[in-house]
Amino acid sequence: MTETPSSSTISTKLERVAKLARQAPGLAFTTLAHHLDLEWLREAHRRTRKDGAVGVDGQRAEDYARDLEANLRSLLDRAKSGTYRAPPVRRVHIPKGSDPTRTRPLGIPTFEDKVLQSAVMMLLEAIYEQDFLDCSYGFRPGRSAHQALKAVDDTLWAMGGGWVLEIDIERFFDALGVEHLRAMLRQRVRDGVILRLIDKWLHAGVFEAGAVTHPDAGTPQGGVISPLLANVYLHEVLDRWFHEQVVPRLRGRAHLIRYADDAVLVFSDEQDVGGQENPPKFDPLGRRRVGDDPRGGGGVESGLVAHG
């Protein structure tokens, strides 16, 4: 993506938001939508992938760009006035892992919806990047799956070996508790325009097999803003919980490394995860089964492996 002169202006504004979020970790932002102007939407359009699959309206990036200024003006007016209607995402199923019988659903928004999601995500990312813990690596700027794997390796080397518990939250994006996510967001964001847009995306519906459905839970996997919303949720129910509630109760050292809805927990003491004759101090399938949590989330798949 080629930067434009306005890119540096937007970056300066984002840094101001980030600085305020960093200096005031308990602050709830009540005025954010004033940042959304034509210049902001142009930058959001610049950052939006132009080669992605089309949404329910069939519009391609080049179609939208033919009358870009008018389209962005219309989008801005609708977003600010509250008349923007989030279109349903087009659901497709793609293979999951190496098992050809397993698939995961992917929701494809329209191109215009991607632009607006990108514009809002830029604001939210500036705030939440100041809150997220170092243990989180998925869908964050400057972080990658390779860094997460290296963190696991470095942790095991530093411990001289240990016990590794691997966790995969099944159907997390489909089962995420929307009401609880909304409450989590309001701890940091109370701008009505921004919250209304997020609500519209959460309730936009799914187009599949010629029909539109409106699930009661979840955020469509594939949306531009969905990974950030998932990180906000898991930051509260997994990352903070593990560090603040679990680690102080353990006999030995423990570390969490998370990439989106997959996590690896490394323990130095076998008793903390349940030895042959000792009840575990940490048991994701019992004391912390996400699927049994009223806040939502899918069931937990886990496996325990000794390293060292």
pLDDT at position 294: 38
Tens-digit pLDDT profile for residues 213-222: 888 877 777 8
pLDDT at position 102: 79
pLDDT at position 306: 56
pLDDT at position 241: 95
pLDDT at position 96: 77
pLDDT at position 307: 58
HEC assignment per residue over the chain = CCCCHHHHHHHHHHHHHHHHHHHCCCCCECCCHHHCCHHHHHHHHHHCCCCCCCCCCCCCHHHHHCCHHHHHHHHHHHHHHCCCCCCCEEEEEEEECCEEEEEEEEEECCHHHHHHHHHHHHHHHHHHCCCCCCCECCCCCCCCHHHHHHHHHHHHHHHCCEEEEEEEECCHHHHECHHHHHHHHHCCECCHHHHHHHHHHHCCCEEECCEEECCCCCCCECECCHHHHHHHHHHHHHHHHHHHHHHHHCCCCEEEEEECCEEEEEECCHHHCCCCCCCCCCCCCCCCCHHHCCCECCCEEEEEEEEC
pTM as predicted = 0.87
Calculate the average pLDDT of the chain: 88
Tens-digit pLDDT profile for residues 148-172: 999 999 999 999 999 999 988 877 8
Flag the least confident range among 96-105, 164-173, 193-202, 286-295: 286-295
Residue 98 has pLDDT above 80, yes or no: no
What average pLDDT score do residues 117-136 get? 98
Residue 142 has pLDDT above 90, yes or no: yes
pLDDT at position 284: 45
Residue 69 has pLDDT above 60, yes or no: yes
What average pLDDT score do residues 206-212 get? 91
Flag the least confident range among 86-90, 237-241, 304-308: 304-308
Residue 282 has pLDDT above 80, yes or no: no
Tens-digit pLDDT profile for residues 3-44: 776 889 999 999 999 999 999 999 999 999 999 999 999 999
Flag the least confident range among 88-92, 161-165, 228-232, 275-279: 275-279
pLDDT at position 281: 53
What average pLDDT score do residues 40-55 get? 96
Tens-digit pLDDT profile for residues 248-257: 999 999 999 9
Flag the least confident range among 23-32, 71-80, 206-215, 292-301: 292-301
**With pLDDT > 70 as the criterion, what percentage of the chain qualifies?**
88
pLDDT at position 273: 83
